Amino acid sequence: MNTNTPLTTPLAAVPRPPGPPSPWWGLPLLRALSRDYLGFVQRLQHAHGDITFMRIGPECAYDVLSPDGVRAVLVEQADHFIRWERGIEVFAQVFGQGLLTTEGEQWKRQHRLLRPGFAPRRVAGYAALMVDAARQALDDAVPPGQASARVEVDALMTRLTMDVILRTLFGSRARDEAREAGEAVQVLGRQAMREMFLPLTLPDWLPLPGKAGKRRALRTLRGLVDRHIDARLNAAVADPATVPTDDLLAMMLAARDDEAGAPDGTGAGSGLSRAELHDQSMVIFQAGHETSATALLWWSRLMAEHPEIARRARDEVDQVLAGRDPTPADLPRLDWLGATLKEAMRLYPPVPALMSRRAVKEAQVGPWRIPAGSLVRLTPWVLHHDPRWFPEPEVFRPERFTADAPPLPRGAWLPFGTGPRVCIGQHFAMLEMTLIAAMLLQRYTLAVPPGDDTRPAAELNVTLRPKGGLRLAFTRR
C-alpha cells in the first residue's frame, strides 16, 4: 500500500480524540513542535489527555502518552505500524539499510542475523574490553599529580563510549579515530534534527547551511567503517589466524541465516553482504555510543548533586568489588548502582522521543480507532515525567528501581523502547554503563563546581544533550 496516503477512511467518519485546533494547516503547531518538542507534547497531555489528535498539513497525527497506549502500539499491534518515512529517509542517508531503518522481511532477516551477538551471554564477553577502555579514560580524567580537576563530562563520556564501541565493534584502540568520529557524530545529529522538520532533504551538494559539515562528517564516518571492514576482509585472506573472532564485526561476518530460503536468495545459510556489513556497522557505531554517553553524563550530574545517594552507591561498589575491576557477574549485587542509572534514564531518557510510527493497518488504542495512514508519536520523556507512574517526577529517587521496589506499570519506563523494535543493544548498554559507573565511583568523588549550580537545560539533538556541555569537579578518593 502507499503509506504516504494520510487516511483511507473518510475523515469525517472517524471519531477523534481531543486535541488542539490546527489553523493555517497546522503550521503553528509544527513550529511549536520544532522549537520545543518535549515541552509541547507534555503540554498537550496536560490539556487534552493520554491520547490526542491534531492535523498538520495532510497528516493526521496522534500522540499516545499512557503506558497501555504505548504497549498497544509498540507491542500488541506492532505489525500495524512502520517507522515514519521522513525520519527513515533522514536516518537512511547516514545508516543506509541498517537495522534501524529497515522494515518487514528485510528487518526480520537482519534482526535474526544480529540478535545472537547481543544476547546477554555474548555481551558479557565484551566486558574486559569495556573495562580496559574505562580504566584508560577515567585514569586520565584528572591529570597525574593533581588531586582534583574540573572535567568536561560530556566530552569524557562521549570519548569513552566511542572507544568502547570501536573496541567491541572492530577491535580498534585508536583514540585519535575516536575523537574524529565523535565530532562527526555530533555534526550529523544536529543536521538530522534540522532536516527532520523539513518536508524533504535537498541534495547535500547544495551550498546550504550545514551541508558542507554534513558531507565532511559522512566522509569521516564512512571512511572509518570502510577502513575497518576492508582491513578485516583482507586479513581474513592473507592470514586467517590473525583475525579477531570475538568482536561484533567477527560476529557479523560469521552470522548465517538459518531460516528457509527467500526468493531473492537471501535465505537459508546466507550471511550479510559487504554493503550490509557497512550499514550495520554504521548503525551500531552511532546508536551504540552516543546514547550510553548521554545516560552516563546525566547520571554523573545527578550523582554530584546528591552526595548521599552517591555515597550509598560508592559504599556498595567498595563492598562488592573490594578494589578490583568489575565483571558482569557483579551486576546483580550492584543493585543500588543499577537503580541510580535507571532513575537517571527516567529523568533524562537518552532517546526522549521515539521515531514516530505510521499506521499501515487500522489500529485500536483504548477507545479510539487509529485509521491506516495516521501518524503516531511516542514520547518516553512525557511518560517518565508523569506523576501517576512516578510520584514527584522531578525528584531523583533511585528507590523506584531497586529489586524490592513495587513494580511499575508496563510501558511507563521505556528508555530502550519496547516490543519487537526494542533496542537490540540494551544488555550491552546496561553492562557498559554499570561497569563505567562503578569504576568512576572507585576513583573519584563527584561535585558540582562552584558557579555551576543550575543543572544544564536538556536539548533534543536526536539524543538529549546538556545545553552548553556539562562540567563537574572530580576529586581523587
Residue 474 is placed in which grid cell?
572530580
Count Cα neighbours of 352 within 13 Å in the Cβ-side half-sphere.
25
Check binding of 416 to ligand HEM (CB under 6 A). yes
Taking the least distance from each CB to ligand HEM, the nearer of 99 and 440 is 99
Scan residues 341-370 and list those touching ligand HEM (CB under 6 A): 350-351, 354-355
Per rule CB under 6 A, count of chain residues that contact ligand HEM:
23
Taking the least distance from each CB to ligand HEM, the nearer of 53 and 416 is 416
Stretch of 186-194, 267-275, 393-401, 419-427 contacting ligand HEM, by CB under 6 A: 419-427
Closest CB 83 distance from ligand HEM, rounded Å: 7
Taking the least distance from each CB to ligand HEM, the nearer of 141 and 424 is 424
**CA–CA dist 383, 42 (Å, integer):** 9
Check binding of 99 to ligand HEM (CB under 6 A). yes
Stretch of 18-26, 365-373, 388-396, 421-429 contacting ligand HEM, by CB under 6 A: 421-429
**CA–CA dist 400, 407 (Å, integer):** 9
Taking the least distance from each CB to ligand HEM, the nearer of 142 and 382 is 382
Closest CB 424 distance from ligand HEM, rounded Å: 5
Q: Which residues pair with residue 369 across a beta bridge?
A: 364
In the chain, the N- to C-terminal Cα span, in Å, equals 62
Stretch of 193-201, 257-265, 290-298, 306-314 contacting ligand HEM, by CB under 6 A: 290-298
Taking the least distance from each CB to ligand HEM, the nearer of 32 and 78 is 78
Closest CB 108 distance from ligand HEM, rounded Å: 10
Residue 180 is placed in which grid cell?
574524529
Segment (H or E) for 336: helix 335-347
**CA–CA dist 391, 142 (Å, integer):** 38
Contact pattern for ligand HEM over residues 188 through 217, marking x by CB under 6 A = ------------------------------
> 315: how many CB neighbours lie within 10 A of its CB?
12
- 446, 104 contact by CB (below 8 A): no
SS3 429: helix
Angle at 424 between CA 355 and CA 295, to 5 degrees: 70
Q: Which residue has the cell 488542539?
A: 20
Q: Which residues bind ligand HEM (CB under 6 A)?
A: 99-100, 111, 283-284, 287-288, 291-292, 295, 350-351, 354-355, 415-417, 421, 423-425, 428-429
